[in-house]
Amino acid sequence: MTAGVPRVVLIGPPGSGKTTVGRLLAQRLGVAFRDTDADVEETAGKAVAEIFVVDGEPHFRQLEREAVTTALASHPGVLALGGGAVMDEHTQRALEGYVAGGGAVVFLDVSLAHAAPRVGFNQSRPLLVGNPRARWVELMQLRRPTYERLATVHVVSDERPPQEVAAQVHAGVVGAPAGGGEDPSAQEVQA
């Protein structure tokens, strides 16, 4: 990441903690936090789950692509993306450009065993309705290569409270000491 206001994007599956850790990271860095799911909800005037039901997933993905494009171009702080946003090719190119411009892209990773109790797999996550554990695994199999390819930093959030994960991410993006007594082996900083 280049000097100036830190620019960090968090990607990863539902339950990895993008929103929770993103807020904490923004506080640590003293910058603003933004979340594309919230941006989409504001634009649409309804909750993500309602957009899926009333307008359909393609419409949600269109709104999401626009929200991501706008935020990547204009938001100077920490940005959490929706879990599936990275599967859009336009968003993939935009993230590559973001990294080329000095931004950091963090893959917040989590196992099913830890994601399940966090997410609770209720109706608020429309893609997981039906057989939520199986759907989560399917989505992760499909998406993991993309998360890994786009990320400049990879942090596993299993077994760690959000504050510790935020410290790990902080260390990964600005090279600061992680603090909090966490195990550095949990963090893999990719070249």
Ligand X SMILES: Nc1ncnc2c1ncn2[C@@H]1O[C@H](COP(=O)(O)OP(=O)(O)OP(=O)(O)O)[C@@H](O)[C@H]1O
Ligand Y SMILES: O=C(O)C1=C[C@@H](O)[C@@H](O)[C@H](O)C1
Number of H helices, E strands in the chain: 8, 6
Alpha carbons 121 and 26: distance in angstroms, whole number: 27
Nearest residue (CB) to ligand X, 16 versus 91: 16
- Find the part of the chain contacting ligand X (CB under 6 A) among 87-95, 134-142, 147-155, 156-164: 156-164
Q: Is 15 among the residues that bind ligand Y (CB under 6 A)? A: no
Alpha carbons 37 and 29: distance in angstroms, whole number: 22
Q: Which of 75, 125, 154, 170 binds ligand Y (CB under 6 A)?
A: 125
Q: Around Cβ 105, how many Cβ atoms within 10 Å?
A: 25
Residue 160 interacts with, from Mg ion, ligand Y, ligand X, none (CB under 5-8 Å by kind): ligand X
- Find the part of the chain contacting ligand Y (CB under 6 A) among 89-97, 98-106, 121-129, 159-167: 121-129
14 and 84 Cβ atoms separated by less than 8 Å: no
105 and 153 Cβ atoms separated by less than 8 Å: yes
Q: Is 4 annotated as a binding residue?
A: no
Alpha carbons 185 and 167: distance in angstroms, whole number: 14
Q: Is 126 among the residues that bind ligand Y (CB under 6 A)? A: yes
Tell me which residues in 10-69 interact with Mg ion (CB under 5 A): 18-19
Alpha carbons 161 and 118: distance in angstroms, whole number: 11
User: How many residues lie near ligand X (CB under 6 A)?
Assistant: 21
Q: Is 140 among the residues that bind ligand Y (CB under 6 A)? A: no
**Residues in Cβ contact with 179 at an 8 Å cutoff, skipping those fewer than 6 apart:** 167
- Find the part of the chain contacting ligand X (CB under 6 A) among 14-22, 53-61, 142-150, 178-186: 14-22
Residue 92 interacts with, from ligand Y, ligand X, Mg ion, none (CB under 5-8 Å by kind): none
- Minimum Å gap between C-beta 143 and Mg ion is 15
Chain mean position to CA 83: 6
User: Is 139 strand, coil or helix?
Assistant: helix
Residues near ligand Y, by CB under 6 A: 14, 37, 48, 82-84, 125-127
Which residues fall in the annotated binding site for Mg(2+)? 19
